[in-house]
Homo-oligomer: A and B are copies of this chain.
Amino acid sequence: MEYTIKEIALRAGVSKSTVSRVISDKGYTSLEAREKVLQVIQELKYKPNALARAMVSQRTYNIGVLIYRRHHPIASHPFYGKILDAILTSAARLNYSVFVTTDHEMSVRSSDFMLEKRVDGLILISRLQQNVIENIQNFGVPYIMVNGSTDVDGVIHIVGRDEEGGRKAADHLTSLGHRNIYVLAGPQTHRSHHLRLKGFRHYMEHQETPLAASSIAYPGASTFEEGYSTMQKQWDHFRSGKYSAIFATNDMIALGAMKFLLEQSVRIPEQVAVMGFDDIDFAAMFSPSLTTIRVNMEEMGTQAFTMLDRLIRKEQVAESNMEFEPELIVRQSTGGKHLG
């Protein structure tokens, strides 16, 4: 049953104002009135209507998470899903509810829905779209971008130090003795793939073992399937190149490539060492487990929400951007030892 404050007031023998005061716990109420109201609320299992509340307080305590993805997975995405989990958990802690929504393409539909629902704030994940940004900006609702595909001025970005991560990957492989490394670089239109490759490449140049253009392949998407098929297509080329290691700009591509190599009976890491980037759950589970550069997705999600909450409450937000330091995780796929 959906009771209203009016019904509670009636049964408790007080006015609606008084009921409101005890519910929101602000303003004075006599102990007697308070207890009577509380009792009726209990009996009726009354649940205040958050819509009506939001109506007058101009605050919904709802936020929206927009995940722009062309295809599934959305929430179950091994990378974005982790960020989402952290947002859900930290939002719940501060009594926010969260709308999760997705849009396949350059449409303003999802953001419009969220705006009409009067969310207090928005978190955008993945692909960044100018028209969506403008739509939100124009409406004046606080928002934050997590792992956006592009940096845009004036937008608060939460990202990893991908270039630094690329360097760490190169450092790890070269320190193991690898000189001839093959790179699988995801879509260069996406900020993180671009920076990871850039960092890796720069490091190699400083080592005076620059990456030849022929040592880089570009899978069409940052997926397992593309990692697999790219490796497959490049197999002859790869073999003739006598590469001793592979660096992929994300774990999914690395895993796909590994799967192909294992099917060719290549021994990993003895014959070829492999490393990825992200540290998605599967990386540790695969056999052999995948050496990678860990991006702290939980922390990114948590911070995104925390900053958004500050923005909502109009508190001072120190940084306009937030960068996370990636961490090398050595696992079976690079063996951790020298390879002649």
Which A residues have a C-beta under 8 Å from some C-beta of B? Answer: 1-2, 45, 47-52, 54-55, 60, 62, 72-78, 81-82, 84-85, 88-89, 92, 95, 97-102, 110, 112-118, 135, 138-140, 224, 255-256, 258-259, 262-263, 281-282, 285-287, 289, 298
Give the residue name and chain of the B residue nearest to A100 (CB).
Answer: B100
Of B89, B113, B259, the residue contacting A102 (CB under 8 A) is B89
Closest CB pairs A-B (n = 5)? A76-B81, A75-B75, A262-B287, A50-B116, A100-B100
Of B101, B115, B255, the residue contacting A47 (CB under 8 A) is B115
Q: Give the copy number.
A: 2
Which of A116, A262, A263 has the most B CB atoms < 10 Å from its CB? A116
A51 to B57, CA, bound (A): 12
Besides the contacts A2-B140, A282-B285, what 8 more A-B pairs have beta carbons closer than 8 Å?
A1-B140, A50-B118, A51-B55, A51-B60, A52-B55, A73-B81, A259-B285, A259-B286
Output the least CB separation between A52 and chain B (Å). 6
Inter-subunit contact A92/B101 (CB<8 Å):
yes
Inter-subunit contact A117/B50 (CB<8 Å):
yes
Give the residue name and chain of the B residue nearest to A75 (CB).
Answer: B75
Give the residue name and chain of the B residue nearest to A103 (CB).
Answer: B92
Output the least CB separation between A336 and chain B (Å). 15
A50 to B256, CA, bound (A): 45
Inter-subunit contact B101/A114 (CB<8 Å):
no
A75 to B117, CA, bound (A): 22
List 20 A-B pairs, Cβ < 8 Å.
A45-B138, A47-B116, A51-B55, A62-B99, A73-B81, A75-B84, A75-B85, A76-B77, A76-B82, A76-B84, A76-B85, A76-B281, A92-B110, A97-B101, A98-B99, A99-B99, A99-B100, A100-B100, A224-B285, A258-B287
Output the least CB separation between A219 and chain B (Å). 15
A60 to B55, CA, bound (A): 13
A50 to B55, CA, bound (A): 10
Inter-subunit contact A102/B98 (CB<8 Å):
no
